[in-house]
């Protein structure tokens, strides 16, 4: 060890002598930052960098060129040059020589068609012996080609005051060497005369002095080359206006930041046009600007461009008569710039380091690393991490030197460097560990103190060997058996490699470590060194371990790039994977249109591929997978690119013309069909002409609005119009010519319209059809008509209709009533003189001619001008989920249905969901129209009208069409999760259908998992068939959080998933104290009923508590005892009341028996069958029906749309506080439940309805069935005089609350009053006469209400033995309310009593019930 230290000290002294330092002590004093620790020297970083780097140069043949370069170092560096990556031998070169400062001089540049020895990329290389090498940025030398003209000036003439342009197009390299001559004299450039960067000459505001012969000359160092001469003639101003047109339009440019830009824009016409500019649709102010300058002819100059200047530039030429515009895109590229430069690093051998380098630029630069002038090739120990950073693993002494980060893109390159110094192990790093050190080697050494060092660790073994990691364990050294204060360093390397890496233990005393990121099937050598406060000790014996083999698959291909090469093609390039793991056989390129779910692939043999046949101006994503003999490797990340734009491939749609007055026509149109825009629509070009003069076409370019008012037309003249869409690439195809004729004269709107010429009314039973003709004076504008009507006065109601309408039907009138009707025409000035008419609606019994159409009425006058016939044969053809084609015929056209005049059609459509939806309209000039943007699976109605000039038809007959279904576009909502009572491992999931189902839901899929971040294919799936909205999931783990998602499906596929809802299963503490965690999440809140004791009364409205945690301390046995006790007490009270009632006899007993028998069908009801039909309640095993009875005399009948009670707590017993508690003993129910599902409260309180008496079973009679989709309800019955008992029919009576309309589902229920209070335990009392009901509730009998969408469920009623289960829905027949006579009779009967024999039968039933209760209690 002493010999090794001596060798290191000699090496340090030798380096000090090379650097010109006399001795280590002098060096330390000189630098001020050097320190001597344990006898070794810490070297400082040496400044070594370029003062000047070569720049790009443009030269001409035969000229001399200097490529500048100068480097700084304390020791003068040696300068060399590379051309195209190869060192130049300047010793024997006659033309190229190295200047003293390091610059390269090239004398007499050589350049010919086949010999270009001087053109290329040059790089300066600076070297300091024993220190390192650095390289400069690369610079390009471009030699201009031989002088030649691509285009030459041509003779032309220009109006005085206009602008002229003379072309002289040359090679881009030669453009700076072009000058002009007029009449063989040099042309001097100024604000009026300007030379474009391409070489063309612009002369603005031409004068007579500008006339003459012009030629351009190329002077590139040799003999000048002259173009042909062209004569420019100046002609006087024309007396008539000349068409405005562009002589030169701006073209899209790509420039580098800092360069200058010129957008040429030259327009001619008479009057002389004025040029202005816009950038990104905002006016560009050039006056007073330092960077923007308006050049000759209207061209725009921009100096020192930056990224903020990029965008769309629009040149607008305006001469007062017309306006034209042209656009161009400016793209600004930025050379690479460093955001973070590499920093100098101190390190020890075996450490891992990272040189950081962050760059920016446009396009995004690529980064490569150079060490001492040589390219760093990525390997196991030199890696590119985070795209730009260089990681060096397991440092060795030879890794010292200068490292440079070189960034490069299409417009430039830059370099930045840093120095790496590797210190001896016994020399501490002078400063705190820099951030560039990795966590594995983030240690720094303190000065060692004297003392004993640890011996070698013992028994180093590999306890776990995998393909890419090994776990080592060892015993403490003999010198320190406890080893609590020892730390360990594990040195390892590949067998046969001298580059050793180190890994340190994380805490003192730890005797194991896991070495990761190893290579499979590779032999590694490990050794362990212990270290105490005095320093590192002896090394253990080396241990050889081989990692396990694995299938070698390629890694991802780096630097994948994609760029659009045309509007329909994209070129993708990539590099060979860094971890190829064998020979790469081929690549597979995957690509997909953005927003689609179908991925396409193509096999590629090389490192690039061009995908053709893509959609224009569409985003695509690309990725690459490399294949070797083992199969596909790791995929690259997706790169997204948009194909280039192009001119639109289709014309605008539905061009319609509307004649506004005698001098203007309004054009309306719609954009080209989706998928044909081929880019961003920047505007529309409108061309129009007189039909009589087809050669004289006028153009007008507008913005992106879908309408344009063309003014300044001639009176009574027919014009043709066509429209084309514009993108930055040009103009797309135009529509067909569409014609319209301006009015001969304008209408007057300075006064109100005159009185309509006629008014006719036609009364019906509940409506009056009003028809009229317009005012006789057709020269006054009519905007519409105001119709007023009312009984005895026309001012009660007012309706306004369109000016095109000629009839209107006033609805919802009273029969046999006298109405006064008034009609007034109005415009923007006001309403005109009214016209009055009166009519008496027909009596209710008169139904003749109700449906006759008013236009066919014999006395309907013919309007003047007569209205057109409405279109016929309107048909709706369904094309997709959002598109319907409407077609029709026009009987006013010839048989060939060819439109030759200026008529147009208006299509209107709407859907009735929601009911207040407004009509949407669109115009068409053909006999069909494509309606888009509709909702899926929705019924729409369509109608059409035709307009020609000032004449319009009425709306046609309607056609209907339902769009096709689409996959659901929204997830199920209100997802809640609750635990099942008594079954802690079972939960119930409830939800609501998606708001955008887009079709009939055919099922759901429930996903659940304990890990919300797991991949969706790892979640457990529970399918739900049909449109059920609840589902049970069993055998879950107790006290575990679960996450639930639901997605709906219809015939078209699966919709999106709902947000995850969390639910924690209960702890198995007690069956009745089981917690019910509140389900949380965006899907909604889960809740269930709470058992809070038998005396709890729900609040008004019957809504359950939203937090479902049971609070009753009673267990199920105690609750059952309480229920039985209450039942016994109730029975005793009933017996006492019954005995009391037997002492009262009234004259109504016989009447009561007769009524009871007729109700049960034992006897026919005496009297006229049309008078009264008392209600029957038939209860069977399969369904529950209520026979219909006549309408109620009460304006607010009790029968109303109220929710059906779900469980036994909805049954309200009769007591003295019935009137006060009738609204507090209600509960509402929402949704469906399976037969096995049951709420806690229903399960614990569900015994009360089960104690009611059985009902007779009789066959159903005529009824109208309304089947609500809800659970079984206990229903009241008036079948009190029973001959046969059904032991399974046990529903109880109930009283529907009229104020429950706010419940979740408005399902029809019925109220049937019992004929005797002792027929059940809970009999609803008849509301007193003073009871009030909500007048907002519907009073229409529910007899005709249907529910066709709900299936009729087969129902079995529950018996005493089924207390633990709820019942499925049963069908209910809803009757009308009884007439006044029967209602009075029932009120009287409700106060009657029975004979003793009837009471005896009741007591017998009660005794049987008590036996059943005792049996249940015992069980």
> % helix / strand / coil in the chain, to the nearest 5?
10, 35, 55
Both tokens assigned to 993: 């259908």
- The answer to whether 247 touches 163, Cβ cutoff 8 Å, is yes
Q: Do the bridges between strand 230-235 and strand 156-159 make them parallel or antiparallel, or are there none, so unpaired? A: parallel
Query: For the purposes of burial, counting CB atoms within 10 Å of the CB of 1132, is it exposed (0-12), middle (13-18) or buried (19 or more)?
Result: exposed
- The answer to whether 265 touches 286, Cβ cutoff 8 Å, is no
Please tell me what DSSP assigns to residue 242.
E
Given this model, what pLDDT does residue 1178 score?
A: 40
Number of helical (H) and strand (E) elements in the chain, helices listed first? 8, 93
Q: How many residues can be counted in the chain? A: 1419
Distance CA 245, CA 315 (A): 12
- The answer to whether 387 touches 431, Cβ cutoff 8 Å, is no
Distance CA 884, CA 933 (A): 9
Q: Whose CA is closest to 1172, among 914, 1383, 1413?
A: 1383
| Regions in the chain scoring below 70 on pLDDT | 1-41, 146, 221-222, 431-449, 580, 846-866, 915, 1069-1117, 1142-1402, 1405, 1409, 1412-1419
Q: Strands, DSSP E only, in 173-294?
A: 178-182, 185-186, 193-195, 201-203, 212-218, 225-226, 230-235, 242-248, 253-256, 261-263, 266-270, 274-279, 282-283, 292-294
Given this model, what pLDDT does residue 1117 score?
A: 67
Q: How far is CA 1409 from the centre of its chain?
A: 63
Q: Whose CA is closest to 639, among 571, 585, 577?
A: 571
Given this model, what pLDDT does residue 691 score?
A: 87
Given this model, what pLDDT does residue 1417 score?
A: 59
Per DSSP, the three-state class of 9 is helix
Place of tokens 């147009």: 904
Given this model, what pLDDT does residue 1010 score?
A: 92
DSSP lists the bridge partners of residue 1025 as: 1003
Distance CA 1408, CA 147 (A): 122
Enumerate residues 6+ apart whose C-beta is below 8 A from 227: 149, 152, 153, 168, 215, 216, 217
Distance CA 567, CA 63 (A): 43
**H or E element: which one contains 1404?**
helix 1396-1418
- The answer to whether 640 touches 657, Cβ cutoff 8 Å, is no
Model's pTM, two decimal places? 0.39
Distance CA 1329, CA 1336 (A): 19
Enumerate residues 6+ apart whose C-beta is below 8 A from 470: 462, 464, 514, 515, 518, 524, 526, 545, 547
Q: Do the bridges between strand 738-741 and strand 608-611 make them parallel or antiparallel, or are there none, so unpaired? A: unpaired
User: What distances in angstroms separate CA 1321 from CA 5, 575, 1204, 1291, 1406, one per listed residue?
Assistant: 107, 87, 20, 11, 10
Q: How far is CA 289 from the centre of its chain?
A: 42
User: What distances in angstroms separate CA 529 from CA 396, 442, 476, 495, one per listed residue?
Assistant: 18, 17, 10, 19
Given this model, what pLDDT does residue 1319 score?
A: 37
Given this model, what pLDDT does residue 1116 score?
A: 58
CB atoms within 10 A of CB 981: 26
Given this model, what pLDDT does residue 526 score?
A: 92
CB atoms within 10 A of CB 1005: 17
Enumerate residues 6+ apart whose C-beta is below 8 A from 797: 788, 789, 790
**H or E element: which one contains 1418?**
helix 1396-1418
Q: Strands, DSSP E only, in 902-1026?
A: 904-910, 920-924, 928-931, 939-948, 951-952, 959-962, 973-980, 983-992, 1003-1009, 1020-1025
User: What distances in angstroms separate CA 337 from CA 69, 122, 255, 846, one per listed residue?
Assistant: 20, 20, 17, 92
User: What distances in angstroms separate CA 828 from CA 711, 753, 832, 952, one per listed residue?
Assistant: 22, 10, 11, 21
Distance CA 386, CA 407 (A): 15
- The answer to whether 163 touches 205, Cβ cutoff 8 Å, is yes
- The answer to whether 667 touches 591, Cβ cutoff 8 Å, is no
Q: Do the bridges between strand 132-143 and strand 57-59 make them parallel or antiparallel, or are there none, so unpaired? A: parallel
Q: What does the CA dihedral 1162, 1167, 1171, 1172 come to, rounded to 10 degrees?
A: -20
Distance CA 905, CA 883 (A): 19
């Amino acid at each position: 060890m002493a010999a090794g230290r001596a060798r290191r000290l000699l090496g340090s002294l030798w380096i000090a002598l090379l650097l010109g330092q006399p001795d280590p002590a002098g060096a330390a004093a000189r630098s001020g930052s050097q320190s001597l620790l344990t006898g070794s020297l810490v070297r400082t970083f040496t400044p070594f960098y370029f003062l000047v780097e070569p720049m790009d140069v443009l030269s001409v043949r035969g000229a001399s060129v200097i490529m500048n370069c100068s480097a700084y170092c304390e020791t003068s560096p040696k300068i060399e040059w590379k051309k195209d990556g190869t060192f130049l031998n300047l010793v024997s070169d006659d033309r190229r020589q190295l200047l003293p400062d390091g610059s390269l001089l090239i004398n007499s540049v050589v350049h010919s068609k086949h010999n270009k020895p001087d053109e290329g990329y040059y790089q300066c290389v600076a070297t300091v012996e024993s220190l390192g090498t650095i390289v400069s940025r690369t610079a390009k030398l471009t030699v201009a080609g031989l002088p030649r003209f691509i285009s030459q000036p041509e003779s032309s003439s220009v109006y005085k005051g206009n602008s002229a342009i003379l072309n002289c197009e040359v090679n881009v390299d030669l453009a700076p060497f072009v000058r002009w001559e007029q009449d063989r004299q040099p042309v001097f450039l100024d604000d009026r005369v300007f030379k474009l960067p391409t070489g063309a000459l612009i002369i603005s505001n031409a004068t007579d002095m500008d006339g003459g012969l012009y030629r351009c000359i190329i002077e590139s160092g040799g003999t000048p080359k002259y173009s042909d001469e062209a004569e420019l003639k100046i002609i006087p101003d024309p007396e008539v206006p000349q068409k405005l047109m562009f002589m030169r339009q701006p073209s899209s440019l790509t420039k580098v930041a800092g360069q200058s830009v010129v957008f040429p824009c030259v327009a001619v016409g008479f009057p002389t046009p004025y040029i202005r500019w816009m950038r990104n649709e905002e006016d560009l102010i050039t006056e007073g600007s330092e960077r923007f300058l308006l050049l000759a002819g209207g061209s725009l100059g921009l100096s020192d461009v930056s990224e903020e200047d990029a965008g769309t530039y629009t040149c607008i030429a305006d001469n007062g008569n017309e306006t034209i515009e042209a656009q161009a895109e400016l793209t600004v590229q930025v050379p690479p710039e460093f955001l973070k430069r590499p920093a100098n690093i101190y390190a020890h051998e075996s450490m891992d380091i990272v040189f950081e380098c962050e760059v920016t630029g446009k396009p995004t630069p690529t980064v490569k690393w150079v060490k001492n002038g040589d390219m760093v090739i990525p390997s196991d120990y030199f890696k590119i991490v985070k795209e730009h950073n260089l990681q060096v693993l397991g440092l060795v002494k030879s890794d010292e030197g200068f490292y440079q980060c070189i960034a490069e893109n299409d417009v430039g390159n830059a370099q930045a460097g840093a120095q790496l110094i590797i210190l001896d192990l016994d020399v501490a790093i002078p400063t705190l560990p820099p951030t560039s050190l990795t966590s594995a080697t983030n240690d720094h050494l303190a000065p060692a103190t004297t003392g004993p060092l640890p011996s070698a660790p013992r028994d180093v073994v590999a306890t776990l060997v995998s393909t890419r990691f090994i776990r080592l364990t060892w015993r403490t050294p003999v010198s320190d058996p406890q080893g609590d204060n020892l730390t360990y360093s594990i040195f390892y390397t590949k067998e046969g490699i001298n580059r050793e890496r180190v890994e340190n233990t994380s805490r003192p005393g730890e005797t194991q470590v896991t070495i990761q990121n190893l290579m499979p099937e590779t032999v590694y050598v490990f050794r362990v060194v212990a270290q105490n406060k005095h320093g590192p000790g002896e090394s253990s014996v080396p241990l050889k371990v081989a990692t396990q083999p694995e299938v070698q698959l390629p890694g991802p291909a780096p630097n994948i790039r994609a760029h659009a090469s045309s509007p329909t093609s994209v070129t993708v390039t990539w590099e060979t994977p860094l971890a190829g793991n064998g020979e790469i056989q081929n690549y597979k390129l995957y690509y997909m249109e953005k927003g689609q779910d179908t991925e396409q692939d193509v096999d590629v043999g090389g490192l690039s591929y061009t995908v053709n046949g893509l959609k224009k101006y569409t985003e695509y994503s690309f990725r690459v997978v490399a294949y070797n003999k083992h199969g596909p490797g790791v995929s690259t990340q997706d790169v997204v690119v948009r194909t280039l734009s192009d001119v639109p491939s289709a014309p605008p749609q539905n061009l319609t013309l509307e004649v506004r007055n005698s001098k203007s026509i309004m054009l309306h149109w719609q954009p080209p069909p989706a998928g044909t825009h081929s880019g961003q629509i920047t505007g529309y070009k409108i061309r129009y002409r007189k039909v009589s003069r087809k050669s004289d076409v006028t153009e007008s370019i507008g913005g992106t609005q879908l309408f344009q008012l063309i003014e300044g037309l001639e009176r009574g003249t027919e014009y043709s119009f066509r429209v084309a869409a514009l993108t930055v690439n040009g103009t797309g195809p135009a529509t067909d010519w569409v014609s319209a004729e301006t009015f001969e004269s304008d209408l007057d709107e300075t006064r109100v319209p005159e009185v309509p010429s006629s008014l006719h009314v036609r009364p019906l039973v509940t409506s009056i059809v009003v028809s009229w003709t317009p005012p006789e004076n057709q020269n006054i504008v009519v905007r519409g008509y105001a119709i007023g009507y009312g009984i005895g006065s026309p001012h009660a109601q007012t309706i306004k209709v369109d000016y095109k309408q000629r009839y209107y039907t006033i609805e919802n009138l009273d029969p046999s009533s006298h109405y006064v009707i008034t009609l007034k025409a109005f415009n923007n000035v006001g309403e005109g003189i009214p016209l009055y008419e009166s009519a008496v609606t027909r009596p209710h019994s008169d139904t003749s001619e109700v449906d006759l159409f008013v236009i066919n009425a014999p006395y309907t006058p013919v309007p003047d001008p007569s209205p057109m016939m409405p279109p016929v044969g309107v048909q709706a053809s369904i094309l997709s989920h959002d598109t319907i084609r409407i077609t029709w015929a026009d009987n006013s056209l010839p048989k060939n249905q060819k439109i030759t005049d200026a008529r147009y059609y208006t299509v209107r459509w709407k859907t009735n969901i929601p009911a207040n939806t407004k009509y949407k309209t669109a115009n068409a000039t053909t006999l069909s129209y494509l309606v888009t943007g509709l909702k899926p699976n929705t019924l729409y109605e369509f109608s059409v009208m035709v307009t020609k000039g000032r004449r319009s038809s009425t709306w046609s007959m309607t056609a209907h069409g339902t769009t096709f279904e689409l996959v659901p576009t929204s997830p199920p909502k209100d997802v809640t999760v609750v635990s099942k009572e008594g079954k802690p491992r079972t939960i119930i999931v409830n939800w609501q259908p998606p708001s955008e189902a887009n079709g009939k839901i055919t099922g759901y899929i429930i996903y659940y998992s304990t890990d919300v971040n797991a991949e969706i294919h790892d979640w457990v799936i529970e399918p739900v068939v049909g449109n059920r909205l609840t589902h049970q999931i069993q055998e879950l783990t107790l006290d575990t959080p679960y996450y639930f998602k639901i997605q709906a499906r219809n015939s078209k596929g699966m919709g999106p998933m709902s947000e995850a809802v969390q639910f924690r299963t209960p702890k198995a503490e007690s069956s009745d104290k089981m917690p019910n965690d509140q389900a949380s999440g965006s899907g909604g809140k889960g809740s269930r009923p709470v058992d809070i004791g038998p005396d709890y009364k729900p609040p008004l409205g019957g809504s359950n508590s939203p937090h479902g945690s049971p609070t009753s301390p009673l267990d199920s046995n105690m609750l059952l005892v309480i229920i039985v006790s209450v039942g016994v007490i109730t029975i005793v009270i009933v017996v006492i009341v019954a005995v009391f009632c037997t002492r009262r006899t009234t004259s109504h007993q016989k009447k009561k028996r007769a009524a009871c028998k007729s109700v049960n069908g034992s006897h026919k009801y005496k009297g006229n069958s049309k008078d009264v039909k008392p209600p029957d309640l038939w209860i069977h095993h399969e369904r529950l029906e209520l026979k219909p009875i006549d309408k109620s005399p009460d304006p607010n009948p009790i029968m109303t749309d109220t929710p059906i009670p779900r469980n036994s707590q909805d049954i309200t017993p009769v007591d003295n506080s019935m009137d006060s508690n009738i609204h507090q003993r209600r509960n509402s129910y929402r949704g469906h439940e399976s037969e096995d599902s049951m709420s806690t409260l229903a399960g614990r309180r569900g015994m009360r309805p089960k104690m009611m008496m059985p009902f007779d079973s009789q066959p159903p009679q005529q009824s109208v069935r309304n089947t609500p989709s809800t659970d079984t309800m206990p229903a009241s019955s008036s079948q009190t005089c029973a001959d046969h008992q059904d032991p399974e029919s046990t529903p109880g009576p109930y009283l529907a609350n009229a104020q429950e309309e706010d419940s979740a589902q408005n399902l029809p229920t019925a109220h049937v009053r019992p004929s005797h209070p002792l027929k059940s335990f809970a009999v609803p009392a008849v509301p007193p006469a003073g009871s009030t009901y909500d007048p907002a509730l519907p009073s229409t009998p529910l007899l005709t209400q249907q529910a066709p969408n709900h299936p009729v469920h087969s129902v079995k009623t529950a018996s005493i033995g089924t207390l633990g289960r709820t019942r499925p829905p049963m069908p209910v027949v809803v009757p009308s309310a009884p007439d006044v006579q029967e209602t009075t009779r029932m009120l009287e009967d409700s106060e009657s009593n029975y004979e003793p024999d009837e009471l005896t039968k009741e007591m017998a039933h009660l005794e049987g019930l008590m036996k059943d209760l005792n049996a249940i209690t015992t069980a």
